[in-house]
Structure 1
Amino acid sequence: MQETRWAQVWMSIGLLWFLLAIAIAPTNKIYQQGLVAFLWLPAMIFTWSARARLRELFHEQRWVYLPMLGLLIWSLISLTWTNASDISRESKRLLYIVVFLLFFPVFANGRTERVIRIMQWGGFGLAVTAVVAIVKFYGVSGNGLSARLEGLGELSHPILGGYVIGVAAVWLALWAPSTGKIQINWAVALAVLVVFVLLSQSRGAALALFLTLLAMPIWCNDRRSRVVAAAALIIATLAFLFFEPLVMARGVSYRPQILAASLQMIAEHPWCGLGLGGDYKVFASGQYFDHAHNLFTHIAIELGLPGLVLWCAIWFAALFQAWKVRETFYARGVIGIWVFSTLAMQFDAASLTGTPRAEWFISWLPLGLASVLVWARVKPDACDKISRLPNQ
C-alpha cells in the first residue's frame, strides 16, 4: 500500500514539509499541523502494510531499538516524579517521536535513493530560504555585515538557524548529484549554505561544519571529499582572519561555567534526574541559563545517568550501523550528519523530547535516516534522481 503513487507523493510531501516548512511556515502551529497531516498520519496508516520491512529493521538494528525501547520506558517511568506542568503532553511527545522514526523505513520501503532524493531537494530548498534570509536581513532590513544573520520562520535565531542550515550543507556535500548541469546548482547551493552559517556567527555550527567537512576523507576516501575538505580548510582560515574580532569578542559564552554547573546538578540527582520535561535553570557565573547548552548533560539532568547511558547506546549504535556499510553512498551521508550532529550537541542543544523544532535536525533526524541503513547494501551506489529539472 505504501508503494502506491499517491502514498509516495503524500509521504514525500511530509518529509519535505519537515525539512522546509521550519523556515517557511508562518507560525510554529502551522508547522506542527502540517507534520501531523503529511508525516505522522501516513506513517501510522502505512505501518501495518510495511510490517515486514519493520520486522526486518528491528531484527537487523536491534542494538539500536532495544535501548530505544529502554529509553522510552524509562522516560515514561520518570513522569512519576517530574515537575513538568502537563504530564500528558510529555507522553504525547514521546508518541510523536516514535511515529517520526517509523516514518523513514515506511517511506523508504527498502529504497535508499528515495530518501536521498528528497533530502537533496530539501537541501536545495533550504539554500533558497538562506538566500531570501540574507537579502531580507542585510538588504531590506539594512543590518550591517557585522550583525548576526537570522533565518526565516523558526530559524530566526542565529544559533538554531546555523545548526539547521549547517546540517543541510553536510548532507548536500555528501549526497552530491552526479549529473552534469545539476552539479553547478549543487555547488551554488552548498556555497550559499556555508555562507549562511558563517554570517550567522554561530561558532558551534561553524566549528561542527568545518570539522565534519574536514574529516570527510576518513569515511569517503574519494577525490570529491578531498576537494571539499581542502576547500573547507581554506574557507575556515579566511573566515577566521576576517571574523576574528567578532569571534573572539564573545569569549567562550560561559560554556565552561555552564558545564561545571550542569555536572553539579547531575551529581545532585544522578540516578533519577528531574524527570522527563523537568523544568530547570542552570546557575553559573551569577546568572541563570535556560538550559544546559549540551544535549548529553541535558539528558542526564532530566533522566539521570540511566537515561544518558541509554541515549549514548542508541546514538553510537546508529554510527556503528552506518560504519558497517560506509562504502555505500547512503551511509556516507548518514555518517556525515551524525558527526556534525554530535559536535553540534556539545554547544547549544537544549531539547530531546520537545515538539518538532530545529533541534530535531541534530537528534531525531539522524536516527530516522539511520533506520534506512538496513537496505543500503541493496543499492550501494544509489545516487541522485534529480537530474530531471526544468531546462535540462
Structure 2
Amino acid sequence: MYSNRWAHALLSTGLMWFLLAIAFAPANKIYQQGLVALLWVPCIALAWSARARLAEAWRGQRVLFSLLLLMALWAVVSLYWTHAAEPDREFKRLLYIMFFVLFFPILADSKPEQVMRLMQWAGVGLAIAALVSMIKFFGLEHHDWRARLEGIGELSHPILGAYVIGVSVIWSLLWPPRTRPFQVGWCLALLVGAAFVVMSQSRGAVVALFFTVVALPIWWRHRRAFYLSAGTVAVVVVGFIVLEPLMMARGSSYRPEIFAAVIKMIELHPLTGLGLGSPYNVVAADGMRFDHSHNLFTHVGIELGLPGMLLWISIWLTVLWQAWRVRKTDLGRGLIGIWLFSTLAMQFDAASLTGSPRAEWFISWLPIGLASLLVWARGELAPAVIKSRVPPNQ
C-alpha cells in the first residue's frame, strides 16, 4: 500500500510541508497540525505495509538505529527524575522523533533520489522565502541595511532562520539540477540563500556555511569543489574587510561564559542529568541568565547527563562514518555537507533536541533521517564495481 501513487504523493507532501511550511505557514500551530496530518499519521498508517523496507533499513543501519534506541530508552528512564511540567508530553515528542526517522525509508522506498529530488525543490522554495523575507524586511518595513534580517514565518529568529536557509544552501549546492535551463535558477537560489545568511548577521551560521564550502574538496574530489572553495575564500575575505565592524560589534555574545557555566552544571549531575525536558537557566559569572546552553551537545549533557551526551555524540559520528563510506554517491556527498554544516551550527545556538518540530530539526533529526537511506545509496556504486571486474576482452 505504501508504494501506491496516492501514498507516495501524500508522503511527499508531508516532507515538503516539513521543509517549506516552517517559512510559509501562517502560524506555528498550523505548522504542527500540518505535520500531524501529512507526516505523522501517514507514516503510522503505512508503517506496517512498509515493514520490508524498514527491515532493510534496520539491517543496513543496525549500529545507528541501535544507538538511537538506546538514547530513547535512556531519555524515557530520565522521565522518572525530570522536572518537566508534563513528562507525558516529553514522551510523546520522542514518538514524534521515532516516526520522523522511520518516515524517510518509507518515503524513499529504496530510491533515495526521490527524497533528494524533493529536497532540491524545497531548496528553491526556501530561497524564495529568503527573497520574500529580504523584500519585506528591508523594502516594505524600511529597516536599515545594518539591522539583523528577520525572516518570514518561523524563520523570524535571525539565528535559527539562518540555520534553516544555510543548510538548504548546502544541500542545494551539492545536489544541483542536471539540466542546464534549471541551473540558472539554481545559481540564483544559492546566491539569495547565502545573502540571507549574511544579512541575518548570525555568525555561527556564516562560519558554518563558510567552512563547509571551503572543506568541499576533502570529500568531493571534483574541480568544481576546488573552484567553489577558492571562490568562497576570496569572497569572504572581501566581505569581512567590508563588514568586519558590523559582524564583530556584539563581541563573543557571552559564549565563553555560558560554556564555562554549563560545564559546572553538568558536573552537578554527571550521570543522570536534570531529566528530559527539564527547564533550566544558565547563569554566567557576571549574573547574566540564559534559558539554554547555546550548544546542542552540552544541552543534551544537562538534560541527560554524560551517558546521554555520549550516546548523542556516538549517533552523530555514526552518521558521518556511514556517509563517508558512500561519499562518491550523491546522497553520501550531500549528507557529509549537511552533517558538517549542522555540526558547526550546533556549537553556537542550538537549544533543543527533543522539542516539537522546529528549526533545530533541520540540523539534528533531518541529517539522521537522511542517514537512514544510506543503505540504498550504496547500491549506486554497484554498477561501477561490477563493470570494473569485467575483463577487457569481454
After TM superposition, is the score higher than 0.5?
Answer: yes
8 Å CA contact 1:93, 1:354 repeated in 2: yes
Counterpart AA for 2:249: A
In the alignment, which residue of structure 2 is the partner of 1:370? Answer: 371
Q: Distance in 1 between matches of 2:44 and 2:231?
A: 43
8 Å CA contact 1:112, 1:379 repeated in 2: no
- Offset, 1:270: 0.2
Q: Distance in 1 between matches of 2:106 and 2:158?
A: 34
Q: Distance in 1 between matches of 2:137 and 2:39?
A: 31
Residues 20-53 of structure 1: CA deviation (Å, up to 9, x unaligned): 0000101100000000111111111111111111
In the alignment, which residue of structure 2 is the partner of 1:342? Answer: 343
The reply on whether 1:292 has 2:289 as its aligned counterpart is no
In the alignment, which residue of structure 2 is the partner of 1:316? Answer: 317
Q: How does 1:1-392 map to 2 (within 5 A)?
A: 1-284=1-284, 285-380=286-381
TM-score (norm 1): 0.96
Q: Distance in 2 between matches of 1:240 and 1:215?
A: 19
SS of the residue aligned with 1:167?
Answer: helix
Counterpart AA for 1:61: Q
- Offset, 1:227: 2.0
TM-score (norm 2): 0.95
In the alignment, which residue of structure 2 is the partner of 1:386? Answer: none
8 Å CA contact 1:328, 1:381 repeated in 2: no
Q: Distance in 2 between matches of 1:72 and 1:377?
A: 27
Counterpart AA for 1:94: L
Q: Give the CA RMSD over aligned residues.
A: 1.1
SS of the residue aligned with 2:215?
Answer: helix
- Offset, 1:56: 1.4
Q: Distance in 2 between matches of 1:106 and 1:231?
A: 39
SS of the residue aligned with 1:134?
Answer: helix
8 Å CA contact 1:210, 1:232 repeated in 2: yes
Q: Distance in 1 between matches of 2:382 and 2:164?
A: 27
Q: Distance in 2 between matches of 1:231 and 1:140?
A: 33
- Offset, 1:177: 1.2
Counterpart AA for 1:40: W
Counterpart AA for 1:265: M
- Offset, 1:379: 3.0
Q: Distance in 1 between matches of 2:327 and 2:340?
A: 13
Residues 149-204 of structure 1: CA deviation (Å, up to 9, x unaligned): 01110110100111000000000011111211111111000010000000000000
Counterpart AA for 1:187: C
- Offset, 1:264: 0.3
- With over 3 angstroms needed to count, the CA separation of the structure-2 counterparts of 1:282 and 1:341, relative to structure 1, is same
Q: Distance in 1 between matches of 2:378 and 2:101?
A: 21
- With over 3 angstroms needed to count, the CA separation of the structure-2 counterparts of 1:258 and 1:381, relative to structure 1, is farther
Residues 241-279 of structure 1: CA deviation (Å, up to 9, x unaligned): 121001111111000000000000000000000000011
Q: Distance in 2 between matches of 1:381 and 1:264?
A: 50
Counterpart AA for 2:144: G
8 Å CA contact 1:105, 1:371 repeated in 2: yes
In the alignment, which residue of structure 2 is the partner of 1:387? Answer: none
In the alignment, which residue of structure 1 is the partner of 2:391? Answer: none
Counterpart AA for 2:34: G
Residues 92-133 of structure 1: CA deviation (Å, up to 9, x unaligned): 000000000000000001101101100000000000011100
Counterpart AA for 1:272: T
- Offset, 1:381: 11
Q: What is the number of residues matched between the two proteins?
A: 382
Q: Distance in 1 between matches of 2:101 and 2:124?
A: 23
8 Å CA contact 1:97, 1:353 repeated in 2: yes
Q: Distance in 2 between matches of 1:3 and 1:57?
A: 16
Q: Distance in 2 between matches of 1:17 and 1:227?
A: 34
Q: Distance in 1 between matches of 2:231 and 2:2?
A: 41
Q: Distance in 1 between matches of 2:309 and 2:111?
A: 32
Residues 32-80 of structure 1: CA deviation (Å, up to 9, x unaligned): 0000111111111111111111111111211111111110000000000
Q: Distance in 2 between matches of 1:35 and 1:228?
A: 36
Residues 279-335 of structure 1: CA deviation (Å, up to 9, x unaligned): 100000311001000000000000000001111111111111111111101110011
- With over 3 angstroms needed to count, the CA separation of the structure-2 counterparts of 1:264 and 1:11, relative to structure 1, is same
Counterpart AA for 1:188: L
SS of the residue aligned with 1:181?
Answer: helix
- Offset, 1:238: 2.0
8 Å CA contact 1:12, 1:118 repeated in 2: yes
Q: Distance in 2 between matches of 1:354 and 1:231?
A: 38
Q: Distance in 2 between matches of 1:42 and 1:305?
A: 35
In the alignment, which residue of structure 2 is the partner of 1:389? Answer: none
